[in-house]
Structure 1
Amino acid sequence: MQFMKDLLLGYKMKKIIQLGLGNIGIEVIRQFLKLDPVVKSDFKYKAVMDSKNCIFKKNCLDDKDLRKLIDLKLSGKLDMSKYQHEKKKLIDSFGRKTIIVDVTASDETYPVILECLKNSGSAVLANKKLLAGEQKRFDVLKNASDSFDRIKFECSVGAGLPIIYSLKSLIKTNDKIKEIRGCFSGTLGYVFSELENGKKFSEIVRKAKDLGYTEPDPREDLSGKDVARKALILARLSGKKLELSDVKIDNLVPEKLRKCTVEEFLNNLSDFDKVFEKRIWKALVKDKRMRYTALVSETRASAGVIKADKYSEIGSLKGTLNMCVIRTRRYDNPLIIQGPGAGVKVTADGVLRNILEFKTSRF
């Protein structure tokens, strides 16, 4: 009888292979460890890999192994290089019960994801670069995953908000997307809210960096490229064929500070405080609010600053909150999705929910 139970459990078991062990990767594992045992029973971690190394056990990593893995990573003592020779063997084992979880920020994971999909596996992506790279790669991933049925990527736009799910559902039911407008950067939302409160641009950026809202180089956020990638993903899901170069981007980094070091950038940013103060007050005196938004229309995609009406959906948004406003043939009075769209815990929660959705999947 026990043999039959073990056999059935092995048949049902989904095996997770996680790519990336940065802040989000660690938090995904932490939240996985806290799951109810019944919920967790259909999943096991088979391996954790990065760009060079991997660590795994033949019979999967148990909770004790995962806790030790986190402790070693945080202490700087983690060495996964001894498992390097096993990496190909692990990739060769991909199958229908494999779930690749990509929490990196690298486009180098593409071949591994594709190999998993070709072998009937599934994937969960928090990595925007795979979906916002070349159009042909996007198309290959779509075709290899049965029109994205075997790829979940809710966290690629709006962290844990159900934006991708809602958009895919609208498209599947043959609704026509007219326009998508959204604030998809908690960092830029924070910057503009603080500017409205009379704070200096240079001080806001420094504080945002200290709070962990920005990338190590805040110009990654201020350049608007991250928002542009999200706009591109939504545009492609809506059926448009576009490259990132087709997306018009409003770069908030002063041109003179785009090629210097991070330290030089931060030290000289105060030279531009008056410029941003003038822009924000020009909007405020007209009862407008400056917001950095992504736009996907029937003809184009863009990422940039708009002057929104004070009491509009976008204009009333505060702080790091994200919002997506979708207008379709059925929803001319728009569908609005709003909530936390930034932060390690929120993103990790979204990744984990995507993983658990495969529990009842036919794949």
Structure 2
Amino acid sequence: MTFAVLAMLSWSESAFAHLTPNSEVTLHLSGDRVEAQIIVPAAEYAYASSHRAGNGETDLADARKYLARRITLTTADGATLPMRIDQLRFAQVAGPLDLLATAYFPLPAGKSAGPFSLRWSVVVDSVPDHFALISLADGGESRVIGAVRQTDQNITFTPDPSMFTSFVRAAWLGAIHVATGFDHLLFLMALLLAAPLAARDKRWSRVRGLRESLYHMGGIVTGFTVGHSVTLVAAGLGNWHLQTGPVEALIALSVVVTACHAIRPIFPGREAWVATGFGLVHGLAFATLVAEADTNIAHNLPTLVGFNIGIELLQLAVLACVVPPLLWLARRAQFAPMRVAGGAIVALCGCWWLYQRLPAVIA
């Protein structure tokens, strides 16, 4: 049942897989003001606001009012800073059309040290899976200080956050990324779906013992972890410029392959190696997120490790919920039809994602 529910969520929210564009806010602090450079995907803005995404006078006026009602910056004593929105336009910087703007918050005398609290409800109040990456620029570099989403629309920051704070926020960002990345989760769970079983004559023939099942599952999870951790760290520290389209298409393909394996064995006994191999590909997708954010998560080992730890903790939480009932169900007669049905639904999700992502590969 768990697999079916997650698969149906993935199908209904297919637009919210890793191809979903999310907002970005880069904060610059100077002696007399806070400046926020804003990027909001135009399609999500149009959906959330019911306004047209265009550069006509009325369209830009609507966009300005929409942003003004949903962005607030306050000082430590609760004073709300006045805001001026400038350089507002819809433009195609890289990929789909974006809403671009710069917001200026003049500071009263003596308030430049912070801390400040940003409240951001742009798009996130209408699209549950949307989030905004919040970065703090310092000289020529910037670092992610957190993310806001529908359930938490506030973030507090100081001009010079500690390394520990950056580490914790990077871990939180990693957890959010996996929580909204149904393709990654379904890939792993499709592999685990057949993990309690052993194959013979190209069929799933018997249920493994409890110790053997746990050992086999541990190998799969470890392989996937090692695979995506290696490419995440290597791509981040190596400053690789990755092509998103092929990576995302390969992830969709990995979901299809593992789902078919859950129905009928394709690579029995080699699941850990397959998880490692596909984990390398999934790690590239994780690296692409931090690279596209243009922040020093991608070039700073402690925050990169924090991002990875957030991914692992969320995966472990999901596994803690899924593995016990899976081991119990595997010893029941009804598990076989449930496994086939779950694998089929996951395969359909993977095929749909592949259909969505192939045009970006061919283009």
Length-normalised TM-score, structure 1? 0.28
Q: Which has the higher helix share?
A: 2
